[in-house]
Amino acid sequence: MKKLVKYLLLGLGVMTLNGALYAQKLYIYDQNTNLPLSEAQVKSCDGQTKLNQTGIEGFVTMIQYASCYLIEADGYLARTVGSDEIKANSGKIPMFPNQHSVDEVVVSASKFNEKRKDLAQKVQVISKQELALMNQSSTADVLANSGNVFVQKSQLGGGSPIIRGFETNKVLLVVDGVRLNNAIYRGGHLQNVITMDNGVMDRVEVVFGPGAVVYGSDAIGGVMHFTTKNPTLSTTDKTLIKASAFTRYMSAVNGYAAHADVSMGTKRLGSLTSFTYSNFGDLRQGARRNDFVGSFGARPWYVTHIHGVDSIIVNLDSNLQVGSGYSQHDVLQKFTFKQKEGVLHKLNLQLSNSSNIDRYDRLTQTSNGKPKYAEWYYGPQFRLMGAYTLELSNATNMYDAARITLGYQSIEESRMDRRFKKNFLNHRIENLDIVTLNADFSKKNGAHEIRYGVDAWYNKVNSTAYQENIVADTTASLDTRYPDGGSTMMSAAAYATHTWEINDKLILNDGLRASYVSLNAAFTDKTFFPFPFDDITQKHMALNGNLGLIYMPNKLWRMSLNGSTAFRAPNVDDLSKVFESVQGSVVVPNPNLKAEYAYNGEVGISRVLSEGLSIQATGYYTLLTNALTVGSGTFNGADSVVYDGQLSQVMTTTNAGRAYVYGFEAMLSGKLNDHLSMIATVNYTKGRNVSDSIPLDHIPPVFGKVAMVYTLGKLRMELFINYSGWKRLADYNMAGEDNFAYATPYGMPSWATVNARVNYNFSRQLSLQVACENILDQNYRNFASNISAPGRNFIVTLRGNF
């Protein structure tokens, strides 16, 4: 018996030694950032060994020896590595990002994970790795550098995204599943996207084309879905602590930013705390001006208040856009509680607040040869959000996965303006309380996958105003921007989408949504405007659908055909505001507006040219009915009224009948060899009213980007060109929001900037990023923008991950 035990122990020792000799420990990491990849899957090339997965730190131990391993990770090119390569690299295996490929996982199109190849609709993903490498100062600049989203700016503290010629309240913003569009999202230009901190983003997804079936009203041009980081739970009994931080300097604004986030997690409870502070000085525009630009955009003077008197000061550096600086801080706190396997509770708290933000364009206006305004600024842009989410992943007869989110938002926006040499400072303040509810479910049955849900939201708008005498320190009444009796807006809807993998070559997408939207606004005080109505009440019902077909004849080609509808119910801003649109024009309420509808068709084609390199193109046509546009109007029979002390032409939002938008998008992207990759994009859009062929506003010129990236070990270098075509005055909408008053006599000239970025990883924990944007110091301005773009801009960022 003793001999038997002895032999057994000896055999066990030999087996253990054999396993130790042949076990291989691999470290899987991102080639561009040097950061570890968790949940990468590793197995032998012949499939004989057990499937293993990397942990949080990117390590995996292969107990069973194999001479060749297959490694796969979401968002990365699959690769095989042999034992010789593993030995030569000490077990360290870099993975190359597979951005823009059909195998990339997206969330925004259906609210659940699915591969891009299963979607007939175009979706672009900007991963957290790409966000870090882009090294941009705001989320607006992230979108502008995507190569597929055009961004307008009225001031440095802003950025209004345009997707396929649709902007502001015709595109939808969503953060962590919570709808951001609210009852006062206007038809002009919006700056709300800067309230989302890109320093704590996990990913940004852009859905191109109508998203009304899943998201409801406003999603005509597309959906921008922002997902923030989550706490990381520990897989062991030890508390897992992870942290990241960066500090950044930007020369064009002589500004800086600092960010830090800390994640702590046990097996069941996790916490993530994030803080970002940004301080931007006045923006310096480019010094190199072509003949068409001339002195356009120069800032030869500015106004300041000296000893109680408004004084015009000569700007010694006319390229310095005095009055554009601001600061902002963003706070995020998340808690995660894993009640049991398949039951996850999340609490998401977000706060964004800024300093006063000068409306730069208004500070450059003149009247009778003198400055029109001494002051014109937005008050602090305040956004507070709290959301609770319940995630269920244990399959039942009704669903395989479920997500229920209840959210609350408190928003404050304000506008202050004072005429030059006048003592009266006008204050207009808007406060919103917003409640949202989403319940989404997913169920797979064979080749069919159904996603369905219900959602509802409620907006309450409180609009106040007063006039302050800055000398006498007294206040007086003032007309409000929105109805002073308060406004409410609500919606309820149900939807279902379906994906059918007919075979390995054909996939069908379809969906349907029924929506109800109501609005009520009360006009109590008619002292300033004797409106012929006391309140506005509207109710809208809409049925939207989509139908798409994907055909993949082989692994190289992919073709898609998609049809979809969308709608937008007029909101409080459309129906009831009074404001100065352009100098000398005032927009007044129109209680008779109807909902606008969109009918969209698009066709896409893509081809894999080589491993990791592909080309894709999409053409689309959108027909708008009851399109909301701004045109000439009357108020109590008069075509002009006195507003803010000036005789102004009456304008009003109307349903213009029918309009169309069409265009195409193309992209060449991917890996050229083990060290070199590229991306090139082009976007073309055209839009007109059908009845009179007048150009639609918000239609950008041709734009895009071209970039080459070289990676070698710890070094990553990128050279890229952003470009925009010429927007001629003949293509401007003179009554809309194209801001022709801030264009040159030739329209907005074309431009291209040459830019470079270098990233060096000293270690897994520390990296240095140096960029020079607009190397040639070109002077240019984006279409419809009222502030010139940055000149030569050096950006230096030190980034740490611990």
Phi, psi torsion values for 731, nearest 5 degrees: -100, 5
Q: Which residue has the tokens 């600024």?
A: 377
How many residues are recorded in the chain? 802
Residue 16 is predicted with a pLDDT of 43
Phi-psi region of 657 (alpha: psi -120 to 50; beta: other; left: phi over 0): left
Residue 794 is predicted with a pLDDT of 98
DSSP, residue by residue, 382-425: EEEEEEEEEEE-S--SS-SEEEEEEEEEEEEEEEEEEETT--EE
Sign of the CA dihedral running 583, 584, 588, 592: negative
Amino acid at 614: S
- Contact between 95 and 37 (Cβ < 8 Å): yes
Q: What is the C-alpha separation between 477 and 279, in angstroms, rounded? A: 35
In SS3 terms, 569-625 reads as CCCHHHHHCCEECCCCEEEECCCCCCCEEEEEEEEEEEEEEECCEEEEEEEEEEEEE
Q: What is the C-alpha separation between 578 and 343, in angstroms, rounded? A: 49
DSSP, residue by residue, 73-104: -TTB--EEEEHHHHHHTTTEEEE-B-TT-TT-
H/E element, 21:
helix 2-22
- Contact between 463 and 484 (Cβ < 8 Å): yes
Amino acid at 336: T
Burial of 581-608, coded b for 16+ CB within 10 Å and e otherwise, reads bbeebbbbbbbebebbbbebebbbbbeb
Burial of 293-321, coded b for 16+ CB within 10 Å and e otherwise, reads beebbbbeebbeeeeeebeeeebeebbbb
Residue 535 burial by CB count (10 A; 0-12/13-18/19+): exposed, middle or buried? middle
- Contact between 645 and 577 (Cβ < 8 Å): no
Residue 15 is predicted with a pLDDT of 41
Dihedral angle, C-alpha 131, 724, 602, 699, nearest 10 °: 110
- Contact between 196 and 278 (Cβ < 8 Å): no
Sign of the CA dihedral running 332, 337, 342, 343: negative
Task: List average pLDDT for each run of 10 residues in the chain, which is 802 residues long.
Answer: 50 43 73 80 76 80 76 81 80 78 80 89 92 94 95 93 94 96 91 94 95 95 96 93 96 97 96 98 95 90 94 96 96 97 97 96 93 96 97 95 98 96 96 98 95 98 96 94 94 97 96 97 83 87 97 95 96 81 72 92 95 93 89 78 76 85 96 92 95 89 97 94 96 88 92 97 93 97 95 97 90
- Strand, coil or helix: 729: helix
Instruction: Tell me the Cα Rg of the chain.
Output: 28
In whole angstroms, what separates CA 342 from the centre of its chain? 30
Q: What is the C-alpha separation between 778 and 775, in angstroms, rounded? A: 8
Q: Which residue has the tokens 């024009």?
A: 585
Q: How far apart are the first and last CA of the chain?
A: 54
Q: What is the C-alpha separation between 769 and 82, in angstroms, rounded? A: 33
Residue 623 is predicted with a pLDDT of 96
Phi-psi region of 724 (alpha: psi -120 to 50; beta: other; left: phi over 0): beta
Burial of 21-46, coded b for 16+ CB within 10 Å and e otherwise, reads eeebebbbbbbbbbbbbbebbbbbee
- Contact between 179 and 187 (Cβ < 8 Å): no
Q: What is the C-alpha separation between 592 and 584, in angstroms, rounded? A: 24
- Angle 351-199-36 (CA atoms, 0-180°, nearest 5)? 135
- Contact between 232 and 265 (Cβ < 8 Å): yes
Helices and strands (DSSP H and E) totals, the chain? 7, 53
Q: How far is CA 289 from CA 73, 74, 109, 669, 776, in A?
A: 47, 45, 43, 32, 11
Strands 92-95 and 24-30: parallel
Q: From the CB of residue 629, how many other CB atoms can be counted at a distance below 10 Å?
A: 21
Q: What is the C-alpha separation between 199 and 167, in angstroms, rounded? A: 24
